[in-house]
Every structure is written in structure tokens, then in C-alpha cells.
Amino acid sequence: MTPDLSRRGFLKHSSAAFGWMALSGLFGDRAYGAIMPQPHYKPRAKNVIFCFMDGGPSHVDTFDPKPMLSKFQGTKIGPDAVSHRSQSAAERVWLGSPWEFKQRGQSGLWVSELLPNIAKLADKICVVRSMLGELPLHGQQNLLLHTGRILGQAPSWGSWVSYGLGTENQDLPGYVVLNNDWVPNGGLENFSCSFLPASHEATMMRAKGVPVDNIAPTGMADIQRRKLELLAIQDQEFAARSSEQRAIEGAIANYETAFKMQTAIPEVVDISSEPQHILDLYGIGSSDEHQHFYGTQAIRARRLIEAGVRFVEITCPSFDDNNSPWDQHDELKKLHEKNARVTDQSVAALIIDLERRGLLDETIVVWAGEMGRTPHTPEIKEGCGRDHHVDGYTIFMAGGGFRQGIAYGETDEMGNAVVENKLDIHDIHATILHQLGIDHERLTFRHGGRDHSLTDVHGRIISDLLI
Amino acid sequence: MDTACRIWSTCFILSCGFPFQANAFDSEKRPYSAVEAESAEWKAELEIRSGWWSLQPPKEIDPPMVDTESEDLNPVDRFILKSLKDADLSQAEPADSETLLRRISYVLTGLPAGPEQIDSFREAFEKNPDSAFEALVDELMDSPHFGERFARQWMDVVRYTDTYGYEWDNPAKGSWEYRDYLIRAFNDDVPFDELIREQIAGDLLSDPRINPEAGVNESMIGPMFYHMGEHRHETSLQFNGVHQEMINNKVDAFSKAFLAMTVACARCHDHKIDAISQRDYYALAGVIMSPRWTPRVIDAPGKYDAEINRLKSLRSQIHGQMADLWQENTSQVSAEKIAHWTEENQEEWEELKQEDIRHLFSSILGATDETISEVWIQLVNDWNETSATRQTENAGKFYVVTDFSEPGFPEGWVLEGDGIVHGYVNQGTPVVSLTGDSLINSVLQLGYHTHALSSKLAGAIKLPDQELVEGQFISFELKGDEWAGHIDIPQNAFGNETITFIPPGGPSQWMSIEDRELKNGVTQNYLQITTASLNSNFPPRMGRANVGEIELPAEDDGLNHRSWFSLTGIVTHNEEGTPSDTLALFSTLYSDTQPLSIDEAWQMIEEWFSDSVDRWARDKPFPEDVHLINWLLDQDLLPNSMADSPSIASLVKQYRTVEEQIGFTRSVNSMDERGVPPMDYRINIRGNVHDEGPEIPRNFLGVFEGKHRVNQSKHSGRLELAEYLSSAENPQTARVYVNRVWHWVFGTGLVNTPNDFGKLGDRPSHPELLDWLTNTFKEEGWSTKKLIRSLVLTSTFKQSGKIGSVAAERDPDNRLLHHYPTRRLEAEAIRDSLLSVTGSLDPKFYGPPINPVRSQEDPLKRLLSGPLDGEGRRSIYIEMSIMDPPKFLIGFNLPIPKLSTGRRDITNVPAQALLLLNHPFVKEMAERWAKRLVKDGSDSPHERIHGMFRRAFSRPATDSEMQRWAGALDSFVHNDEVMIDQAAWTELAHALFNTKEFIYYR
């Protein structure tokens, strides 16, 4: 059977990719189909780890140096710099970066001192400085970043990747969100499979405490086993009496998968077997609780990829009553530094660790927020900050066949608008799918009378970003 | 990517279901524009499109003859049997009594049958299956759980939510009242045409439906329908697109819910295949945007009139007796006392302003007999100068809107709530004290005071559009507490965060509001002064409800606050600033004479006060007297305690008793057209909010032109829209609803896309049956219960689930209904069954939602965790938050309700197995059941297992099942006494919950 990626609507109501194989032998039902789809063309990578910098890290304080901002700090931006893609007004004033930028490594890529560990990897990352968003609002931009639509109501890109690639491990989901105990703006819909088969919904794993809801068995394993034996016969009889035999057998099969997940998931997220030098690399020993947990999630991301999960997303922890983690309308200096401390070492460690294990080539690490921050502020004062900005913000990719040590695209001399190589998130989606061997125009799902895709009518593959 | 293109494509995702790509089908036809919508070309196209089946009136048709005995058959069955016969298929054999009992219980109430019903129903069924079933149906339709069941299904259609999602997930005001309204309506079998009228224009009905038992104006609750779904905070003035997104959601929900049409598709272009133009979208948008989207009082009109009249009368008696009391006790305000008070308190005084009465006292205290005359002259001169200057300034700068010498406001200003309607008082009216030892709290200044009778009574003043109010600024002299404040609402974006609360305590203060600069498609800005419950954005997002040090805690749902405001001055002006105090307070003190000694000075003060009290007692107080008396009351210098007058004390106690009878004003987000001119909505070219085109006159869809009077309305047109949609002439609404009811009863609609009767939707499986049912439904008075009854009392409903091999081959999707399908319980029914079977269900009806259990709380978004068992309440009462909806229910396909859902998904994933295996709620339910089981008095494990089967599956266990489950029990037992081994029975119960039979019915 040659699976046709655009004709899989029949899987929506079945257990689909999520552990079907363990059971196909049991019930002899092969109708749910071979699930590892054929890629559209030879893939360059097979995994994605998305480090979601929720809230919008400032581009002009990280990867997009703008010395003119310091020169004109305090000067009014004027009406020409006002834009509906920015929280802007003519009387606001330019604000220089409190951090020093340096050229790093062989490539000479500019990275500020805010991210010292990522800076050391400058020769490995592919920076895009020309991202263009829709609206300077978290909810819309988060949904745009995740689902390709500002209003959501469509699957998350993790779900699309899971749908397009299937899973290598029947006991684990294809899309995992390593959450840091915080629901991003736009809500859980950011991680939803929407109209795709339910098996592609993100499985949320939290940082603190029990990682996954309902995964810890409520009773002893032998008792549970005994119950499953009892249920197997009881339910088979019921299935025979019912008019929806296949659905009920699917539900029975899910119990077998669920039983295995109870062991598989705790095993893969348990980092206690990691050697000390790895724990140190990721900063697990940090006295900062947020950094400790972020590092823990970063190691888990690697372990999940190794175990066959295709798309792992790590969210940032929220603290100090910020609307979202990197959302520094005030206290830019203090709180951007805290966010950097929490994430910088672990993200760098993840790239190093993947590379040492030979996994970086086949794994795309994405570092992105949903927006950047205004190069201006209402008033220069102690504890001032930057507001929402989507005309020219910065993200980077590492591994997975992306070029290394380059900065693509340009913003104007104030970092206030894209002037060269405008990209939108659809282009990034299309390019990443391309690296995974998926044609973004052909990965479709029929819903409500039409074929939907992640990129809808948009998206270009940006070969300039690729090796 | 330009925005137009983005919104265009987003629109497809949301509701259109057809692609924008040039290579899509229908590609030879380019989309029409709104301007072209009037063109001959579009009219010709519309003519063709309006021939679509769902736009035709239902045909008058008789049930077909299947065979010679057909006439005795149920008419619904005749249609079904005819189709089956034509396909050479037949119905499945009838279901047995147990299957039928379980099925009908879930279909009609969403709850499992009670074990006591099994035997009685079986016995009756054996005697006469038809009459037994009919009696059972009647019993279940009379159960109040019926209303909960059908309300919840309609709630999918109207995208019910308890919160507004987006970034802050603010509470949706009155959502739960709307939910309760639906439950009552389905239980009372309110005709559906009435429910259509109420949900579309309930605020406008000349004869609203008053429910004396619930004490509410039911009709007024209906328009909450519009305000479900996601609402962004702030307004289009901050971020262009806010009101446009909201209107899009409303047009979408309205057209899907009542018409099964996808009108929101036409936001950017004429519909590519259905009979909907872009013009239609904006014409309808004007109808919905015209009224204020604002909270309304839903208490039945005059609900508290008796109490209010009684309070007025008591207040008047108290007023009179207080006058006597104070006149008899003028010694209370003696010169010595005031002098003494001043000496006692003066140490805390620093830098007193001229307005402050203590400034005067400290001046006297600082003087001597020798200097007092001089000091006094200086005071008088200062006062004269300041007073005159300020009076001139005020007169030049501020235009007085009203001095309140008469009750009422300028034309176009609208009042809401008994608090404001009964809030006008004469100078010096006392506020009776509701707690403690005092008789009165204060005396009131001439003006409006929502708490004049009771601070439970809500009040709001709604101003006309800012353009219709003179001046760039308007300022109000306000005082208030408990989250009263003002809010301006541009283009109905009621999550507006310019909300301002009145700081509690202290004297009245002027609060000034500037007209907003209108842009981004905003054409109107409505200001309201309001108590908490009539504020559309109360409680606002966390952190925005704070005044000074006081912050509204996350746990506070914003209900039942004694919120009040006093409004005693209104001015408009064109420059910033507020009127200055003209020091009128001292006008009755300062004159040509001056004291010659300190004693004489205090004597003059004494007279100043006692004259005030005297004028007040004769009911002729000056405005200044009110301030002086309140000052005396605050300093405890007037008799005002229960002990001072047993007679007044008795009146005060009576007053308090009556006040307790008054409930807090109930409100929901509804609509209000009073005082606002209707507006036509500007088209957005290609849906781009940055690109506005001409205004489109308010209207309903072009395809219905000439059949309704929406475009002739002098108001929004909603009333005319409601009339047309609920009329027998309309081809759509009844048919759409009948199909929904069929879908709820049979698990599949006759049209299997209940929200889309357009070209991309399914065709009806039995078009003639659908028409016949629609006509009958209208003839029988749009009765939902009669309709349901006519569906369930059919042999079609009473079939078993057995499928013949031929049927499976020829009609695998069961479109012809050759058996009753096995159905998975809805999420709510699974949870409710767990509660019911284990005896944990609290059958309490109505009320504010219960927080779902959450593993992680987020107080900043009010995402708080509730009890594991949700207080035992049915799932319909668990809070439906958009941001973090109840996870257990979501696991079983509760829809995330940003948009109308016509048909739920039914997925089948391992996460559901994990929920039932390991969720602590399921475990808890097993434990509770076991706890009851070990005390149930059963003689043997067999007897008990039978009982468990009966509760869980509405049937006893078979012999082989008994053997199997008793065997499993043995393996769980760790105790010699199997009958009291609660742990073993817990495991057995838990296993039972995990059977497929528990979450399915046949």
C-alpha cells in the first residue's frame, strides 16, 4: 500500500499512528493502514526541536545590532517610524541596547553578550533577521507561529510534522510539548491537532512533578494487567454486539497502547541515568529553579528525539507576573537577563549534545519567539522596556541541513522594519518541512470540503538558508 | 504577505471550506465584489444559486405508502421504510427492553437509567412494549434533566463559554444565566420560534417572556447568544481588527446556528458557490453592530417594586423622626464640643487646604481674643477672593449638563437598573445604615445615588455616542465603592481596558473623560457610568481591577458586590481640568460680622452648624448643609445610634429586614438599542481592515430580499430579522433546527452537516421526511418536546443495532437507518454517569460554574482548580473556559467553543484509555462506589455484581460474565471477608468503568 498523504481522512476517527502496530497482530486488523508514510522526497532531517521563546525576545538586543539606537537614544521616533506592526507612536523615543554586541567565531556573526553560550556556537547557527509578522499581539502571533493562522482553528505545525512523518516509536506520540507550567497566549490551541487525527495532538509533559497527566498507573501493575485481561474479553463480547465493531476494537486497542505508554513515557523522561558531565552541560545543577527545569526539559527533548519522537517543543517558564516570559514592557535589562540565564545555557548544550551524538545533522533546532521588541520605548528611565514588534524580528535554526554561521535578511538601521529578504513564518514552515522531506503544498488534509495545509496558500522554500 | 490576503485565507479556514487557489474548482468564476453585488451579473448568478434545495420552502407532502398497511404506521417510519424498501433493505429487529431503556435514558437526559427502572420497565414492556415505552418517554421528558441534556447540545451550536479566552480569559458576564435560561426553556418546552426571537432580539420584544418562578425576564437573556465565543481585550483604537473579528464571529455563529449557512465566508468576497454576497456580510454586520453590546438587568420588571416602595416609605419615616431627634438635641453641636474636638484632633493636621473645614478650626485655635477678629477678616477675605475667582473660572470653562434640580438626564441618555431608576434623591435624603449601631450612614446630596435604597441594586447610565455629547471632555462628580466606575466602549469592543474604578472613601471627586480619536473603522464611542454588575468588563483581567491598595482577588467572580456610585455633577468642556471647589461650604458662615473673642468665634461655628441641622430638619437644606451634617456624623457629633431613639431603631430594623429581601441585581451581556441611532457598517475591501470601502445599508441576505422588513427598520433591524426567521414563511430556520434535533436523537442528522446546508454540506438523506417534519413542527407550535416525542416513538428509533450483511454492504454509513447505531457517550455523559452510578451526583440545578480540577493553577488568568468531583454537579455546570477547558471532558471531544459546532468529533485515542485508567477522578469514583457497595446488604458477591451491572449497564450480568467478574474479584481480594474488602471492590468498580459498554450505548 502506498499511502497518499492527502487522502487520509479515514484515519481521523481511528487510533491511527499512535501505537496501532502493537495491536494489529492481536486483532488481525490491517485496515488502519501502514503508517510510516513515504516522504515526498529524500529527507535531509527527521526531527525538530523547537525552543519557543514565548513573549518575544528583543531582536535588537540579541542578534541584530543597531548602534544607531544608542546614538539616537532619547530622540523621538517621529511619525514615519509608526507602524501597525508595532506598538508605536510618534512621540516614543529610540532606546539603545544595554548589551554589548561582538562578532563571534570564524563567521563573525554578531551576537550580544546577553546570550553568552549561544554566542559561542555562532558558527553553527543560521540566523534570520527579517521575520515579518501580522499583528503586534501575543495571541495572534503565537497562533500564527504554531498554526499558520492568526486566529488558529487549524493544526499546530508539530501536529502536521507528526501527521506527515508518523512516529518511529509506537509507544510514544509524534508531537510532544515540554511545558514549563505555563499556558501561552492563544491557549492550548497552539498545540492542538485541530482537524487532524487526534493522535497528532501534542502530548504535554510538564517540568515539575509528574510529567504527564494520567500516565502514572493508579494501582499495581499486576492488578492493572488483570483488569486489562478482564476487559479484553468483556469488550470483545460487547464489540460483537455493537454496530460499531471497528471503533470499539480501536478503543480496545488503545488500552494496550496506553498500558505500554505508562512505562515508556516515564522511562524516556527520566534523566537520572544521564552522566554528571551532561547534567552540568545543561545547567541542571543551577540554583535557579527555572533554569534547572528548563535544562531538564532540554535533556528530555534530546531523549525524546532519540526515542523516535519527531517534533518536540520546549516552552519557557513564566515568572514575575509577566504576561509571557520574554514580554518585557518594563525591566528589559533585568528580566531579559533572567530569561537568558534560564534558557541560553540549555539551548546551547542541546546543540552541542546533539552534535556530539551525531544527531544534529538530522535534527533541526529552532529558536524563535512569536515577535521581536520595539527598538523604541515611551520614555527613557530606570527599568524601561520594549513593547510588541513584528516588523523584523530574529529567529535562528541549527542543524538539519541549515547553513551555519550566517545571518539572513536585514532590518533598517534602527531595527524598526525589514528592508531586505522579508520572510514570514510560512516560509520557515515550508523550509523546515522541505528539510524533513515533505512538500508543504502536498501535505494536505481534507476537512470541511477542502484540502488544508500548514502553509495554506503561502510559504516559499528559502534555499538560501540551506546547505 | 499582505493583510488582505491573510485574512482572506484565514476566513476559508474558519468557515468557508473551499480554497482560494486559482486551480480550485469553480475557478472560471472570479469572486464578486460588494459593489458588483448589485450588478446584473451577480443578480443572474444569485438567481441560479438561490435554486439550491435548502433555500426552497419545505414541500407539502404526505407520508408515502410503503404497503397496504401503511396507514396505520407512524408517518416518520413510513418515510424511512419507503427508502429502505426502495433499496431493498429492511429495518433491524426491535431492541430489547434493557437496550431501549439505556438508549432512551441517555438520549433524553444524558444520564444512565436508574436500576429501579429496569425491572418495572421490563415487566411493563413484556405486557405492552409500545405503551410501556411511551410511558417511559413521557417520564423522562418530564424530568428536569431533560432540559440539561438538550441545553448542552444547543450550547455547542451557540459556542457556549464561561470566559472570553484570548490572553486573559476574562469571565463572560452572565454566561451561566444564559445556560440556565436554556435549561429552563427546554424543560418548559418554550416554542423554538420564541427562542429564536429571544436570542436574536429578546431585548426588543414588546411582550417579553417573564418567568415569575425564576424571577427573570427570560427574553432579555437571549441576546447573550451573540456574546459567546472568543473576545479579545482592548479595542480597535489600540489594535485595528478587534471589532471586525468580533463581528465576524457573530455573523458566523448567527448564520450557522439559525440558517446553516456560512455567511462569514463572504467577509472578503462574494461566496464562491452559495447564494451569499460580500454585501450581505456587511449588511448583516450593520444589523448586529447597531445596538450597544452591553449588560442588561434580567430581573423580572418590577421584581423588587414592593420592597423598594416599602424602603422608600420607611426611609421617609426615618428621615422625619431623625429630624425631630436632631432638632431636640441641638446641644450636640455645641461650641464647646466642637472646640474640644478640635483640640483633641489638631495634632494630626498638617498643611490644610482652604477647602478643609479644619483649616478654619485650626485658624481659630491659633488665634487669641486679641487677634481673632483680624484672623477672621483674613479668612473671609481669602474666601471671598478664592470663591469669586473659582466661580468665574468654572463659569468660563465648564458647561453644566444638569444641576439635578429636576430628575432626569438629557435626551439620549439611558438608564439601566433599579439602583439608578430609584436613585434620584432630594437634598439631604438619609442613607439608612444596613449594619451596626448607627441609624443612618450619611445624608445625600441632590443627584443620583444607586445605593440610596440598597447597594444591592445595580445601576448604569449609558451616554449617547461621544459625538452627540458637547465638548471634548466630560466630567462627572462621583463617589462610590465596590468597583463602580466608568468605561468607554468604542465600536462595541466591551473588553475595553480604559475601565476606571471610583476610589472608595473620601469625598466626591471629579473624574474626567476625553473623547477618543476615532480611527480604524471605529465610528462610535459609548461611555457608561456603572456599578460592577452592569459593567461589561467587570471583572476585568487580573491586575486591572485595582484602586489604590485594593485589588480584586482571582477567586472573586465579580458577583454580588455591594457596588454603588453617587453622581452629583456633570459638566462638559473643551480644555483639560475639572471644576474647582468654590468653597460654598462657608457661604452661610462668613458675613459682615466678625467675632470679637475666641468664644464668640466658636459660637458662630455652633450657629453655622445648628442652622444647617435646622434647615435640614425642616427639609429645606442648602447643598452646603449636607456637607456639614455629614461632617458632624463622621465626627460622631450628632445622635445617630440605636440607643438614641428606640422608635427610629425599630424603623431601621424593619428597613434592614426589607432590604434583606432584595437580591443582588442579575445581569447578562445582552443588547440595548435605546438611545442609539442604527449604524451602517463600512465594507472592508477584500476583508482588509485597513482598507475601508463604502457603507452598506443594513439588510438581511439578498437571497431573501422582499420577504422581510429588515431593510425598512428605523432601528437595527434585529426585531424584523427575528420576526422573519421565526415566521412560517422562512424556509430555513425550522428545517435547520428539526435536523439538529434528529441529529441529537439518532446521532446523525438527516443532513449530516447540521451547520452547513450549502453546497459544501451534505445532501439530506430523506429530503421529503425533512420537509414533512419541518411542516409538522411548525404546525404543532414549534414544540421541541413534541418533535422529539414523534421521533423516539418510532420503530426506526426502537430498532436494535443489528446489521444485516446486505445492509452493511449497500449502506455502510447507515444513511437509510436500517439499524440504531452504537453511540459513544458524549464527554459530559461519561462524567455524569461516573457520578450517577456511584451515587455521587448532586442533582442541583443552575448557578455559577464550578472550576474544573486543574493540575496547575494560573491565578493571573483566574485558572483556578476546583474539587476533583466538581462538587458532584453535572458537567454542564463545570466552567467552560476557552483558555483551559476541563481536561477530562476535552479528552472525550467536548468542543473548544470559539466557533459554532454542529456535530462533535468522536475520536478514539490512547489518551482516553489513560484518562479512564489513571485519572484520579475515575479512581475516586471507584472508591466511593466501593465504599457504598460494602454496606449495600448484598448476601453474596454474585448479588452485588448483578447490582453493579444493573447500575452501570442497565442490565444484569450473564452467567459467563458473572463467572468472569467473580473470578477477577477473587484475584483482587486480600481480605478473608470478601464482602467487606473495599479495596477489591474498588478495583472491580474501576474495571467496570473501563469497559467499552460503560462509555457506549446501543
Tell me what the mean pLDDT of segment B221-228 comes to. 97
Q: Does pLDDT of B600 surpass 70?
A: yes
CB contact under 8 A, B968 and A230: yes
Grid cell 441576505 — which residue?
Answer: B701
**B1/A426 CB distance under 8 A:** yes
Q: Please say whether the beta carbons of B543 and B303 come within 8 A.
A: no
Joined together, the cell numbers standing for residue B726 give 421565526
Please count the residue pairs, one from chain A and one from chain B, whose beta carbons lie less than 8 angstroms apart.
217
**Per-residue model confidence (pLDDT) at position B260:** 97
Q: Which residues pair with B514 in a beta bridge?
A: B473
In the predicted model, is pLDDT for residue B381 greater than 50? Answer: yes
Q: Closest by alpha carbon to B175, among B211, B216, B218, B227?
A: B227
As a residue count, chain B comes to 1002
Distance from the Cα of A235 to chain B's closest Cα (Å) equals: 6
The answer to whether the CB of A181 falls within 8 A of the CB of A317 is: yes
pLDDT higher than 70, residue B27? no
Q: Which of A137-141, A358-362, B236-240 has the highest mean pLDDT?
A: A358-362
Locate B389 and state its grid cell: 475667582
For the stretch A235-248, pLDDT in tens is 999 999 888 888 88
pLDDT band at A75 (very low <50, low <70, confident <90, very high): very high
Q: What is the DSSP letter of B780?
A: T
Nearest CA in chain A to B823: A244
CB-CB: which of B919, B922, B995 is closest to A234? Answer: B995
Q: Is the pLDDT of residue B124 over 90?
A: yes
How far is the CA of B633 from the CAs of B429, B430, B613, B616, B638, in angstroms?
14, 11, 11, 13, 6
Question: Does B351 score more than 70 pLDDT?
Answer: yes
Yes or no, beta carbons of A449 and B910 under 8 Å apart: no
The yes-or-no verdict on residue A189 having pLDDT over 60 is: yes
Report pLDDT for B330. 66
Chain B residues with CB under 8 Å of A203 CB are 911
The pLDDT, as a whole number, for residue B98 is 95
Chain A residues with beta carbon closer than 8 angstroms to that of B987 = 219, 223, 227
Do the Cβ atoms of B487 and B605 come closer than 8 Å? no
DSSP single-letter state for residue B507: S
CA distance A375 to chain B (A): 19
List chain A residues with CB under 8 Å of B543: 321
Which is nearest to B891 in space by CA: B827, B846, B836, B938? Answer: B827
Contacts of B919 in chain A (CB under 8 A): 213-214
Q: How far apart are CA A332 and CA A320, in angstroms?
A: 13
Predicted pLDDT at B540: 94
Rounded to the nearest angstrom, the minimum Cα separation between B942 and chain A is: 17
In this predicted structure, what is the pLDDT of residue B238?
Answer: 87
pLDDT tens digits, residue range B52-71? Answer: 999 999 999 999 988 776 67
Q: Which residues, listed in sequence order, are joined to residue B682 by a DSSP beta bridge?
A: B695
Confidence of residue B602 (pLDDT cuts 50, 70, 90): very high
Q: What is the rounded CA–CA span in Å between residue B390 and residue B387?
A: 5
Average pLDDT over residues B387-406: 95
Which range, of A179-193, B592-606, B704-718, averages the lowest pLDDT?
A179-193
CB contact under 8 A, A321 and B543: yes
Give the confidence band of B34 by pLDDT, cuts at 50, 70, 90.
low
Q: For an interface test with B, give the residue of A175, A182, A243, A424 to mutate (most B CBs within 10 A).
A: A243
Minimal Cβ distance to B860: which of A13, A217, A321: A321
**B343-352, B509-518, B743-752, range with the lowest pLDDT:** B343-352
- Cα B896 from chain centre: 18
Q: How far is CA B416 from the centre of its chain?
A: 16
Between β-strands A203-206 and A175-179, what pairing exists: parallel, antiparallel or unpaired? parallel
* Helices B357-366, B372-397: inter-axial angle, 10-degree rounding: 160
Contact list in B for residue A84 (CB cut-off 8 A) is 240, 690
Looking at residue B112, what is its pLDDT?
97
10 Å CB burial of residue A151 (0-12, 13-18, 19+) is buried
Confidence of residue B33 (pLDDT cuts 50, 70, 90): low
pLDDT at B232: 85
Considering only CB atoms, B909 lies closest to which of A199, A234, A447, namely: A199
Tell me the shortest Cα–Cα distance from B438 to chain A, in angstroms. Answer: 43
Inter-chain CB proximity B884 and A188 less than 8 Å: yes
Q: How confident is the model at residue B567 (pLDDT cuts 50, 70, 90)?
A: very high
- Residue B14 gets which letter from DSSP? I
**The residue to which cell 456560512 is assigned:** B262
| β-sheet bridge partners, residue A376 | A94
**Chosen CATH of A46-213+270-465 out of 3.30.590.20, 3.40.718.10, 3.40.720.10, 3.40.50.1970:** 3.40.720.10
Is the predicted pLDDT of residue A35 greater than 60, yes or no?
no
For residue A203, pLDDT over 90 is answered with: no
Cα angle B238-B242-B245, degrees, rounded to a multiple of 5: 165
In angstroms, the CA B200 to CA B290 distance is: 13
Determine, for residues A255 and B917 on separate chains, whether the beta-carbon distance falls below 8 Å. Answer: yes
Q: What is the pLDDT averaged over residues B269-278?
A: 87
**Minimum Cα–Cα distance from A182: chain B residue:** B858
Reported as a single tens digit per residue, the pLDDT across A319-375 is 876 778 999 999 999 999 999 999 999 999 999 999 999 999 999 999 999 999 999
Name the minimum distance, in Å, from the CA of B104 to any CA of chain A.
17
User: DSSP letter string over A355-416?
Assistant: HHTT-TTTEEEEEE-S-EE-SEESS--TTB---EE-EEEEEEEESTTB-SSEEE-EE-TTSS
Decide if B198 contacts B218 (C-beta within 8 A): yes
Distance CA(B225)–CA(B155), nearest Å, equals: 9
Whether B753 shows a pLDDT value over 80: the answer reads yes
Query: Which residues on chain B are in Cβ contact (under 8 Å) with A138?
Result: 167
In this prediction, residue B37 carries a pLDDT of 55
Whether residue A242 and residue B1002 make contact (CB cut-off 8 A), yes or no, is: yes
pLDDT band at B459 (very low <50, low <70, confident <90, very high): very high
Averaged pLDDT, A277-304 = 96
Contact A139 B5 (CB under 8 A): no
Secondary structure percentages of chain A, helix, strand, coil, to 5: 35, 15, 45
